[in-house]
Structures are given as structure tokens and as C-alpha cells.
Amino acid sequence: MGILIDRVKIANFRAIKNLELSLDQFTVLVGANNSGKTTFLRALHLALGEGRKFISKEDFHIENGKFADEIIIDIRIVSINDKGKRVENFVEPWFPGVFTEDQIFAEESYQYISFRTRIKENNHKSGGYSIDRIILKQWDNSTEYPNAKLETDKGASFESIPLYFIDAQRDVLQDIRDKNSFLGRLTSKIQFDPKKVKEIETLLDNLNNEIICGSEILKHLAQRLSELGDIIGSQGTSVEITPVHKKIRDIGKGLNIHLREQETESLPLDYHGIGTRSWASLLTLKAFISWNAQESLREEEAFHPLLALEEPESHLHPNAQRHLISQLIQMEGQKIVSTHSPFIAATCPLASVRHFYKTNNETKIGTLNESFNPLELKKMEREILNSRGEILFAKCIVLCEGITEEQMLPIFAKEYFKRNPFELGICFVGTGSGTNYKNFIIFCRSLNIPWFIFGDGETNIVQRLNNQLTELDLQTSDKNKNIILLPNDTNIEKYLIDQEYIAELKNALFQVKKLNCVNEQYLKTIKNEIESYNHNNGILAKKIKEVKAQIAPYIAESIINCNDKERRIPNKIRQLFDLISEQLSMK
């Protein structure tokens, strides 16, 4: 039996005006840059983190040019069983033990503890700010959050629930030099039996003597340094050179870490890249926490560590990123991980993902665990995220029919926006002939990601789309402003022919065909044959369809390079980008 921090609410901290988030045993925070992920982790650190808290005026939310009067961070703690399911009552060692009876409240027979961290400017306090922790009578769901009437006069201090924050700039070499790092704090606990200490220190003393005696340079240096006693003028003064630490208490100070690959010579970590050193730093945190967990278990004390990890994938190869997640999941305690890696996001259970999306200076949180049952989530993981983890970081998603549009649209988008679409957070996703619009739309709505559809106008495709929209209680394609369909019962190839992009289509077909040409004569024959294709009788469309999987990018490139600038983006595609530009303010 254990505990879980399952809810967090934040008000007036940095860019966050008001935010509530649910947490699991393992929670992954995803979203675009500056959407609030790191701010959330920093807020948790203010409420539960170890050590001194550094607060500045800029940490207070600004609205209409005015700083907020206070920062509020509310945390709720519940009891769970060994399978991670919530249970009614707290049990030992948490109660009785850490929690007291007057701190515990209940809702529908389920006990919980909720407390508030209130941060205000206070010139009488060291640092200029006061941090108060107060037990709440109930979890604050009031419309006028935060409600001060829910606060008690009881203070809150839970040393058995420490939060360990590790940011993206970690480096084990810095950890080695810093006595306050997790590695430094762990090695400072090195202890031996007193008899063993004497035995080891005798061996170290002998080893130092052997090293000095075996080196003419060190022996010469020792002789010269012995003259230091003459200058000091103190009787009995002597000087020693100790290549190896003589005292057990100093062992941790000279610690180094070596890595050897197969039969090569072992080398210290400063010979290795930042990726290896970053990973090693994470593993020292794992060692620190697991050691403290063992100590707590041995002493029968309560211990629930929280790990707030910012971008653990920093500097790691994609394959190493996937392996990293399995190591993180195995670590003791509750984990909250922020990431920009599609490889990590796609590896994590979808139910654990929390999507941060910022719009109109407001941070919204999206989650999938309320939109899909467990079987549907597994299907989403298998069919979507395993190959498309990047959509979790999109600012908007454009759903299209299939591979042709999926390859063409990014090229046209780059021409329209004058930037690569992925730089703007625009993600294009093929839905398999429109059979999977429904799940993608639910996905986008659950995570607050704006979505658009660019589709064929063929009757059966449109009907299939409208059926899925009706199931979701959405307006059909003829009334939905986020849906752009091609006209006159056409697909993309027929639409481009109707728009008289004949020369561009033939050029694209030639670019594909010439890949297999063996000589200039054959190349000329192919070119003449393509020029003879009649677009009015369907021959050109038929020939394009034969190489459908290859030709799409060549078509788009031919069109954006045509002489007429007004025709470099087809009208319906321009209409789509105008819509995206307007709704997302992408100038």
C-alpha cells in the first residue's frame, strides 16, 4: 500500500494563470515549446522540492501589465494499493505515522489530503518572499479559485514526500565536482566498519609510499617540499605527497567514473560525449533514490519520492531514448517527465500523456484516458503513435486522404508560409483513404490540438467522412469550416488536371520515369510519349495513378516552380492554408 499525488492545481505562476492537472505513477508532459511544461515542474519544486527555493518577482503571473499578489500551488494526495488503484483509507506507515487525523478528509468515503503552498512578497523574510503550506478542508473546485475559505489553520510539512528535480543541462562531470549533487550526497554517506577503516587506510598509506618511491620525480618533489618546514619555522613539520587519498572520509572527493567498451581500455567519462554523461547523471539519481528507498524500508519509514525530469532524452540517440523510458519506469517513486522526443512519447502508455497547449496566453491540458477505453488506447498506440509520435507536439494537424496528399501538402505549405511546416508545428497525417478520421479527430479534440481536413470530393469518400462526423456530433463537411474538400466529385490528380496543371503533371511524370532510363535515346522516347498523353480522355490521369506512390512530391515541386507565381499553390490548397493562417495567427 502506498500513496499517489493525483491532482495539482496552479494559479498565478509565471505564464500559468490557472491550471489543473491529473498525475499517474508515470506521467509524460508533451507539447510545443513555451507551452508550460517546465513551468509546471518548477511549481512542483516550489511545493515539494528539496533545498532552498529561489523566487523572483518575475515568477508572479502578469496580466494587463500587473503582477499577481500571490502564487498558489495545491496538491492532493490519495491512498493506492500495490496495483496503483485508489483505495479508501490511508494505512501504515502513512497513517498513523506521517499524516495526522486532522489533516485527512474524505469524499465519497475515499480519504485524501490536500494542501496549499502560498507564496507572497514579504520584506521581513530572507529572500523577500514567504512560503506557507496550509492543509485544505477539501479539494478546491470552487468557481472562484483559489478559495481562501477552504484553508485551515494547520501547517503542512511532508519530508517523506521529497521532489527531486533534474533539468536538461545535467552532466555527470559536474555532479562529480558538486558535493550537493545527487552523486555527491550519495558518496558522502560512504561508511565502513571501524576495523575495516584502519585496515584500508594502512593499505592506502603503503600504496602512497610505493608510488612515491617508485617515481624519481615524485621523490624529488617531496624532498624539495620538505623545505617548507624551514620557512614556517615550526618543529616537527613534515610534508607528504599523497597520489591516492589516505582517509576513507576523502574517498568520495576523488571519485571518478570509467567506461570500457568490450576489449578497449577503460576511459574516464570526461573522454566521452555529453550524451553518455547526461545518461550517467540520470543513473546517479536512480542510485540515490533507490538507496534512500532501501534505507526507508530498513527503518520501516514512509518514503514516496517524486522525480521531476526535464527532457531526459537530451543528447541521446533515438534508440537510447527508447531504452531510457524502460529505465525510468523501473525507478522508485512517482515520475513526471517532460519531453520533446517523439520516440519517448510514442513509447509511453497513451493514458500517461498530458498534452500542454497554449492559446490566447492560456495553457490548456489535454488527456486521452477519458476519451478512449483501454483497448482503444492500445489501438491508438499501435496504429498512430508507434509511427507518428511527432503529432503529440503539433500546433495543428491536417488530416488528408492518403500518401499523395501527405507528401504534397508539406511542399505547398513551405511555399505558402516560406518556412518548413514542421517549424510552425503543422503536421500532415494520411488517414488511409479516410477510414480513420474519427479516431484522429477524437485524438485532436482530447489534446486540444486544432484539426483540419483536406479531402477528395468523391461521393463515397465524402459519405464516409460525414458518417464519422455524425458519430462525433459534428457538423457535416458542407457546413464545417475546418474541412476543405475538392469539388465536382474529384480526387487530387483529377482536380489538378481540371485546374490545367497539365505541363506540370507531365513534367512530374517524366521525372519519375527517367529514374529508370538507361540512355539518352530511351529518355527522349519516354519524354515524347508523355507529351502525347491526352488529359481529356483520362490517359494522363491513368498514367499518374500507375506511379501514385512515387509521383506526389514531383508534382508539388513542378507546380511551385512554374512561371506564373499566382498558380504556384492550387486554389483549394491555398484556401486550406489561408484557414490555418487565420485561425492560428500564422502570418
DSSP assignment string, 336-388: EEE---HHHHHHS-GGGEEEEEEETTEEEEEESTTTS-HHHHHHHIIIIIHHH
Q: Is the pLDDT of residue 432 over 80?
A: no
**Which residue ranges make up each domain of the chain?**
2-168+299-356, 172-288, 390-583
Q: Give the H or E element holding residue 30.
A: strand 26-31
Q: Is the pLDDT of residue 73 over 90?
A: yes
pLDDT band at 312 (very low <50, low <70, confident <90, very high): confident
Answer whether 331's CB lies under 8 Å from 286's CB. Answer: yes
72-81, 387-396, 525-534 — most confident range: 72-81
CA–CA dist 156, 139 (Å, integer)? 15
Residue 396: per-residue pLDDT? 92
Q: Is the pLDDT of residue 355 over 60?
A: yes
Q: Is the pLDDT of residue 128 over 90?
A: no
Arithmetic mean of pLDDT, 516-530: 81
Q: Give the H or E element holding residue 282.
A: helix 274-298
Q: Which residues contact 180 (CB under 8 A, 6 or more apart)?
A: 51
CA–CA dist 339, 26 (Å, integer)? 13
Q: Which residue has the higher pLDDT, 2 or 227?
A: 2
Q: Is the pLDDT of residue 237 over 60?
A: no
pLDDT band at 127 (very low <50, low <70, confident <90, very high): confident
Q: Helices 403-417 and 571-583, interaxial angle, to 10°?
A: 60
pLDDT band at 554 (very low <50, low <70, confident <90, very high): very high
Q: Is the pLDDT of residue 236 over 60?
A: no
| Number of Cβ atoms within 10 Å of the Cβ of 298 | 8
DSSP structure class, residue 49: B
Answer whether 484's CB lies under 8 Å from 572's CB. Answer: yes
Q: Is the pLDDT of residue 173 over 90?
A: no
- State pTM to two decimals: 0.82
| Range of weakest confidence among 154-158, 252-256, 331-335, 354-358 | 252-256
Residue 521: per-residue pLDDT? 80
Q: Is the pLDDT of residue 386 over 70?
A: no
Arithmetic mean of pLDDT, 291-296: 89
Arithmetic mean of pLDDT, 221-238: 63
Joined grid coordinates for residue 293: 528507498
| Range of weakest confidence among 84-93, 372-381, 524-533 | 372-381
pLDDT band at 280 (very low <50, low <70, confident <90, very high): confident
Arithmetic mean of pLDDT, 267-278: 73
pLDDT band at 72 (very low <50, low <70, confident <90, very high): very high
Residue 34: per-residue pLDDT? 84
Residue 508: per-residue pLDDT? 94
CA–CA dist 97, 489 (Å, integer)? 71
Arithmetic mean of pLDDT, 228-254: 65
Q: Is the pLDDT of residue 235 over 70?
A: no
Residue 246: per-residue pLDDT? 73
Q: What proportion of the chain, given as a percentage, has pLDDT over 70?
A: 91
Residue 76: per-residue pLDDT? 96
CA–CA dist 197, 489 (Å, integer)? 86
102-106, 208-212, 312-316 — most confident range: 102-106
pLDDT band at 504 (very low <50, low <70, confident <90, very high): very high
| Range of weakest confidence among 62-71, 82-91, 356-365, 481-490 | 356-365
2-168+299-356 CATH fold = Rossmann fold (3.40.50)
Q: Is the pLDDT of residue 229 over 60?
A: no
pLDDT band at 260 (very low <50, low <70, confident <90, very high): low
Mean pLDDT of the chain: 86
Q: What proportion of the chain, given as a percentage, has pLDDT over 90?
A: 39
